[in-house]
Structure 1
């Protein structure tokens, strides 16, 4: 074989080998990354429970039902990235036809899983609005059965329940409720409160305000007429919702989502206290969501989140929803949380490949 031809073939073979190595490297790199959304289906208000090394994600279904006739979409995963549908989580309560079911969160205590959520709207909610409920199961995937009403007589609209256990073992319930007054410089709208749990299904009835609206960025809608309050029209209606609490370096951080979830202003901010019952401070906030905010032309409406640790237990992640480009679905996303000198900050929202948890 002529030398020149042999050289050409050797070079071609080397080139093919090099290309193969490049492709293999690209495949390995791809295998070590994820790109949001990690579940490209409708999954609003995501909550993720880690139990015995496995992840269980619960999402709002509204008035809808899962294919098995249950309420709240359930997904499972071993790595926070690859999610498999696992049916529905909650058995529909008797007499709840046409009702909305929102924002499930699940905790495990003394051998029982407790799911907190709100139910209302439709025919049953025409006069009473939304109410908090709790359901129970002996397994994380359910099915859960409604066990109790967690009524807040002072409010016609209570949503987004979040149970938190303090270091002494005492449980507390954070949630969002309506306030229609404008006393002390507050603005009417949905705010955050906390109450002690007598047990996992009963509130103490000693709620304290955690945070109410004071700033322009949390406006939900201007000139909003509210049938629930006798058709009263409010010049501005604000929203703080989706509380989630973390204890860090001896302080209590209450994360929450603010503004209208359809707008680019929607995102996650926080307040902080030395005691679980407060008082809570904005810690320099007020200009917009500092933890998680929209990215123009890429990510819209990131929020209503939960926190969970990575599979190795070393890295904290925010699990949140964000709109698809068509704004037809709120999809499941994850990104790292960092504790900085300025307070907690999400290292996102991301929309490009990121290292696997």
Structure 2
């Protein structure tokens, strides 16, 4: 009996798969190995930015230190939400860098760093400027089936045009090269439902201390093409609240227009479970070791809400749309 129980335990995992700080987790699969990148300050061992882990099965993770060599003059900057893609022998890391916390007088800007190896070290090589926005975060590079590259990201909108709420929304632009935007951005989605509110009566130093009756947040875009349609997944609401979770909009072409029907009451793909899972979101998608099962990799708070830890769960494409088979907090079959 003991041996059979041990064998069963060996075939399961229980979230979190990395029980330490790993916000905004992105997983790159390259030549049979998974590399996870997460938001973090300087690594104590090597002084580099972003947590870097490696695994063969999405469950057992080994720490590799940091990934990005901090650029000169960035000692007081914050680095958020790295994503890495491979193209023509080079690994490109997209992330935002800015000064101070959210709402500070210095906003965030998108940057690109490169490396010849997936584990780095990465060196910053370009600024992807979005002149019309003071706060631009969560860059997500997407390659369409025709080989062309696009960049989805989140940026602030302070107007109420067409009934939208002020706040952070989702945008897409073409990449004319891996380090340059076409500057032909189109809005993917803006907040128009009450559940995505981040904070009411929020005063924003970034916008001359203007106070907004409601400030909403859509962030962390991640795009999948499925059955000919483009699905832009995102995290919505305040990451400290039970409303935070993952939803999506869809389009027939990569540049849109995107539709967000039936998401007016809350996140449908991934959401909190009272008493068990807190603040699941800012995810990435990855195919499991079997080459076919799709997983969401996301963060969720520990019980004391001291750190956001990395979790994984299967994604299912149902007749109602994409749905996470979770978030789980009990033993699950190992990928």
Shorter-chain TM-score range: over 0.9
Task: Select 1:320's aligned residue among 293, 298, 312.
Answer: 298
- Paired with 1:127 and 1:303, the residues of 2 have a C-alpha distance of 27
Is 2:152 the partner of 1:174?
yes
Aligned equivalent of 1:120: 98
Task: Select 1:283's aligned residue among 227, 238, 261.
Answer: 261
Aligned equivalent of 1:7: none
Q: Judge conservation of contact 2:154–2:218 (CA < 8 Å) in 1.
A: yes
- Paired with 1:223 and 1:126, the residues of 2 have a C-alpha distance of 16
Is 2:21 the partner of 1:42?
yes
TM-score by length of 2: 0.98
Aligned equivalent of 2:68: 90
SS of equivalent to 1:133: strand
> After superposition, where does 1:199-348 map in structure 2 within 5 Å?
199-348=177-326
Q: Residue deviations 1:284-340, cap 9 Å, x none?
A: 211100000000000000000000000011100000000000000100000000000
1:122 shift after superposition? 3.2
SS of equivalent to 1:285: coil
Is 2:38 the partner of 1:59?
yes
- Paired with 1:126 and 1:323, the residues of 2 have a C-alpha distance of 24
1:283 shift after superposition? 3.1
- Paired with 2:153 and 2:24, the residues of 1 have a C-alpha distance of 14
Task: Select 2:3's aligned residue among 19, 24, 32.
Answer: 24
- Paired with 1:153 and 1:326, the residues of 2 have a C-alpha distance of 39
Question: Which structure carries more helix by proportion?
Answer: 1
Is 2:72 the partner of 1:102?
no
Q: Judge conservation of contact 2:43–2:65 (CA < 8 Å) in 1.
A: no
- Paired with 1:209 and 1:101, the residues of 2 have a C-alpha distance of 24
SS of equivalent to 2:113: strand
- Which has the higher mean CA deviation after the structures are superposed, 114-123 or 222-231? 114-123
TM-score by length of 1: 0.92
Question: Which ranges in structure 1 are unaligned for 5 or more consecutive residues?
Answer: 1-21
SS of equivalent to 1:60: strand
Q: Residue deviations 1:7-30, cap 9 Å, x none?
A: xxxxxxxxxxxxxxx111100000
Q: Which has the greater radius of gyration?
A: 1
The root-mean-square deviation of aligned C-alpha atoms, in Å, is: 1.1
Question: Which ranges in structure 2 are unaligned for 5 or more consecutive residues?
Answer: none
SS of equivalent to 1:298: coil
1:76 shift after superposition? 0.2
Aligned equivalent of 2:176: 198
Is 2:123 the partner of 1:145?
yes
1:126 shift after superposition? 5.7
- Paired with 1:65 and 1:231, the residues of 2 have a C-alpha distance of 34
Q: Judge conservation of contact 1:176–1:193 (CA < 8 Å) in 2.
A: yes
Aligned equivalent of 1:11: none
SS of equivalent to 1:228: helix
- Paired with 1:154 and 1:302, the residues of 2 have a C-alpha distance of 30
Q: Judge conservation of contact 1:66–1:73 (CA < 8 Å) in 2.
A: no
Q: Judge conservation of contact 1:251–1:275 (CA < 8 Å) in 2.
A: yes
- Paired with 2:42 and 2:160, the residues of 1 have a C-alpha distance of 36
